[in-house]
Amino acid sequence: MKKFTAQYYLLLAFLTLLLLPNTTAAQSERIKDFNQNGWYMYFGDHSLTDKWGVHTELQIRRYNLLKDPQQLLIRTGVNYNITDNAMFTLGYGFIETYPYGDFPAADDFVEHRIYEQLQLKGSISRVGLLHRYRLEQRWVQSPITSDYTYLNRARYMLRATLPLAGTTIEAREPYLAAYDEVFIGFGNNIQRNIFDQNRAYLALGYRFSDAAALEVGYLNHIVQKASGMVFEHNHTLQVGLTYNIDFRKQ
């Protein structure tokens, strides 16, 4: 995973463009909904043994940066380290979404989610790379009837980090972070939003210690609603704290 060719990235960019609904007919039907959001997040991967660990995550997402609620996300999982550079996770997420934007949901609604995830680490020179592949099985509540609909979704994220002092990111050093993640719906009950979301992110990070880091950045978040007509363009402030506890030392 340490070396990747330029052709790989060109292919990835080409496939991403193909997946985006960018035909002239589709563009003529689009309704754009612009929002300013703030996501305030905590992430932790805690080692229990050399192979096993626990993932914990809390995200408080706000509409109008801080003023109004947008979403609450709680996610946990069991990690298994296949190698030093490969980790598999099986987990559960609880999500509560509130009405926001110019095309809000009729009421609050919740989602229960099971996910399977594979993370692969690599590098190109000083740039650290992370590939994250995730499958999600989603039970999404209707805000009108309270009934649940089952949905499948696949996600792929490519994340890069660049140290700003030295060749690696060490304690008490800043760094740059960027990622792009595409969401694709598939299976029964998918409507016109096979392309579900895209997230493009750029941030400045600071590693306080081997266990803790903070990132503050901008997320360009595009969401296609189920109708295929409404596209959210969410300009989002992200503040993320990572704190990993190694219980093997206890």
Condensed to tens digits (0 to 9), the pLDDT of residues 49-63 reads: 999 999 999 999 999
pLDDT at res. 67: 94
Min mean pLDDT across 76-85, 117-126, 224-233 is at 224-233
Asked, for residue 205, whether it belongs to a domain, the answer is yes
Helix residue spans in 20-140 (DSSP H): 24-29
Asked, for residue 1, whether it belongs to a domain, the answer is no
CA distances from 95 to 9, 70, 98, 137 (A): 32, 11, 10, 13
Closest Cα partner for 224 from 189, 186, 197? 197
- Predicted structure pTM score: 0.87
Domain span holding position 179: 6-249
Asked, for residue 15, whether it belongs to a domain, the answer is yes
- Distance between alpha carbon 88 and the CA centroid of its chain, in Å? 16
What is the average pLDDT across 215-228?
Answer: 94
Q: Which long-range contacts (CB under 8 A, 24 or more apart) does 121-124 make?
A: 121/1, 121/84, 121/85, 121/86, 122/1, 122/2, 122/3, 122/4, 122/85, 123/2, 124/2, 124/3, 124/4
In this prediction, residue 137 has a pLDDT band, given cuts at 50, 70 and 90, of: very high
Domain at 67, CATH number: 2.40.160.40
What is the average pLDDT across 12-20?
Answer: 50
Q: How many domains does the chain have?
A: 1
pLDDT at res. 82: 98
Q: How much is the mean pLDDT over the chain? A: 90
